[in-house]
Amino acid sequence: MPNEIAVDYDGLIPNNVGLNADPRLRRALEQWHPTYLDWWKDRGPEGFQDNLVYLRTAVGVDQEGWAKFGYVRMPEYRWGILLAPQVEGRTIGFGAHKGEPAWQDVPGEYRAMLRRLITVQGDTEPASVEQQRLLGATAPSLYDLRNLFQVNVEEARHLWAMVYLLQKYFGRDGREEAEDLLRRRSGDRDSPRLLGAFNERTPDWLAFFMFTFFTDRDGKMQLHALAQSGFDPLSRTCRFMLTEEAHHMFIGQTGVGRIVEATCAAMNKAGIDDPHDIPRVRALGVIDLPTIQKRANFHFSLTLDLFGSELSTNAANSFNAGLKGRYLEDQIDDDHVLSGATYPVLRLRDGAVVKEAVPALGALNMRLRDDYVADAASGVERWWNRIIERSGIDFRISLPHVAFNRRIGEFAAIEADPAGNILGAAEWARRRDAFLPSADDDAYVASLMRPAREPGQFAAWIAPPRTGIDNKPGDFEYVKLA
Ligand code: BYC
């Protein structure tokens, strides 16, 4: 039995899964490694591959001191396989197998379902790296450049986490899936990534921060649901991934927060109190609040699609099977089987949005999405609206209705405004640019994207952070460009 806290850091692949004692698996991963590096160089961050970047690397799995900081060239980053410690005597917490010992191997009857969940999760990780690959060229500071690369190397480590599961537990099928994870490409017409939002562009830094706020938060919710899994290796993997994920959302919430802060400060300095006076605000070289709202509308609605349909037999099956639980399943006070339970779901009935109680088992995607919406809404209040409020400007960023701009599920067939009023096609077309970023809005944001590359220098449209990474001072050289 490997020691599960100590990480073997000596071999090619740092790990706490006893890779040395499993030559077949080690060989499979070592064979995958060069293709992975080719993928990283080809589809990972454009440029900066030879620069030293001040990065965090996971070196342990105990809560205290699990990471170390230091200068690394990205291709030399130590992508490792790290599982949270095994919980002695852990049992399956929900579904038809509730109370049975957690599986240490793949339950044969659920093999296909489990492989699918792991593959979908795995696919999102390299997808996000691909989506963000061009942003380095326009980073608003070295601090932000470093944060981008931190997110990128850790999402890539999450790919390793899923590839480990596929290679260790799914034999030949798993190896093929692992190869396909490097073959699909975000946005590619012939071989796209599996989920919609991961084929969109991340064209600028506002999009990057919105993505890390909204879409990484879907990652948080889904990882929490998978961390409840009765398949113990998946649970342990996801628990450790969540440790890293928190920082990605921090980058999103503070990133947008810093943009909001720069806008409010510039408006106050210029004596502008109407946030809707867009030409005057833009003349200051900052991003007007209505454009930030429209970007939030876009990323939020796109991310809601990642939860799948409100009513889903896939979700019911994976819950019943004990593979994917609810958010914080182990803290919910019910039977964890959901026999006879109902859950309120928003549905489209005779052209109106109504709430209907449906069997809870079929509504698990909706439930996870509700938990997500609450989490995102509280982040918007705490991180963005508080800054606007303190500046005295009369504006609030709000999340649009869940029926707004949807492509998956109950509301895919209709158009609704951000308040949830259903619109006809003509009215939607006429008003669309008031709800979602227009070509003009995007062009304005794009015009601001010029790099700031001196230590301590920040683009005018974003405020500096309150504290540095690893408590470094404001003018710290997070990326050595020389
Ligand atoms: N786009 O029953 P349905 C992250 C498919 S993010 C395209 O409605 P289900 C990260 C679905 O696959 C978290 N297709 O939904 C964030 C199914 O196809 P099949 C990623 C979609 O299956 C930032 C069919 O429609 N992890 O980690 O209950 C940076 C009917 O599906 C979409 C996970 O998602 C879509 N948006 O739920 C880096 C967890 N939605 O199978 C990383 C694992 C649905 O019939 N995945 N479809 O061919 C899952 O739990 C589920 O697959 C989903 C879908 C929640 C995604």
Both tokens assigned to 21: 């004692």
Kindly state if the Cβ of 123 falls inside 6 Å of ligand 1: no
Task: Please list, in sequence order, all residues whose beta carbon lies within 8 angstroms of the beta carbon of residue 225, skipping any fewer than 6 positions away.
Answer: 324, 325, 326, 327, 329, 368
Q: What is the pLDDT of residue 59?
A: 85
Per-residue model confidence (pLDDT) at position 11: 86
Place of tokens 């004596």: 271
Cα of 314 to ligand 1 centre, how many Å?
10
Distance 319 CA to ligand 1 centre (A): 14
Q: What is the per-residue pLDDT for 341?
A: 97
pLDDT in tens, 177-226: 999 999 999 999 999 999 999 999 999 999 999 999 999 999 999 999 99
Q: How many Cβ atoms sit within 10 Å of the Cβ of residue 437? A: 21
State whether residue 468 is helix, strand or coil. Answer: coil
Does 218 contact ligand 1 (Cβ within 6 A)?
A: yes
Locate all alpha helices (DSSP H) within 188-288, ordered by sequence: 205-210, 216-227, 232-270, 278-283
DSSP letters, 324-390, are: S--TTGGG--S-SS-TT-EEEEEEEETTEEEEEEEEGGGGHHHHHHHHHHHHHHHHIIIIIIHHHHH
Stretches in the chain below the pLDDT threshold 50: 1-3
User: What are 354's strand-pairing partners?
Assistant: 347
> What is the distance in A from the centroid of ligand 1 to the CA of 313?
13
Query: What DSSP string describes 77-114?
Result: ----B--PPPPTT-B--SSTTTTSBPBSS--GGGHHHH
Task: Indicate whether residue 195 lines ligand 1 (CB < 6 A).
Answer: yes
Report helix, strand or coil for 118: helix
Whole-number Å distance between alpha carbons of 81 and 8? 10
305 touches ligand 1 (CB under 6 Å): yes
308 lines ligand 1 (CB under 6 A): yes
125 ligand 1 Cβ < 6 A:
yes
CB of 15 sitting under 6 A from ligand 1: no
Atom of ligand 1 nearest to the CA of 226: 39
Q: Which residue's CA is the nearest one to ligand 1's atom 38?
A: 125
Residue 233: alpha-carbon gap to chain centroid: 21
pLDDT of residue 3: 43
Sequence-distant (6+) residues with CB within 8 A of 101 are 89, 90, 91, 92
Nearest-angstrom CA–CA distance, 308 and 314: 9
Phi-psi region of 322 (alpha: psi -120 to 50; beta: other; left: phi over 0): left
Residue range 216-260, pLDDT digits in tens: 999 999 999 999 999 999 999 999 999 999 999 999 999 999 999
Of ligand 1's atoms, which has the minimum distance to the CA of residue 117? 43
User: Distance between CA 274 and CA 290 in Å, rounded?
Assistant: 11
* Stated length of the chain: 482
C-alpha to C-alpha distance for 186 and 215, rounded to whole angstroms: 15
Specify the pLDDT at position 25.
96
Nearest C-alpha neighbor of 163 from the set 291, 32, 21: 32
pLDDT, residue 63, reads 72
307 lines ligand 1 (CB under 6 A): yes
CB 329 near ligand 1, within 6 Å: no
Beta pairing, strands 479-480 & 52-58: antiparallel
Closest ligand 1 atom to 221 CA: 13
Diameter of the chain by CA atoms?
A: 68
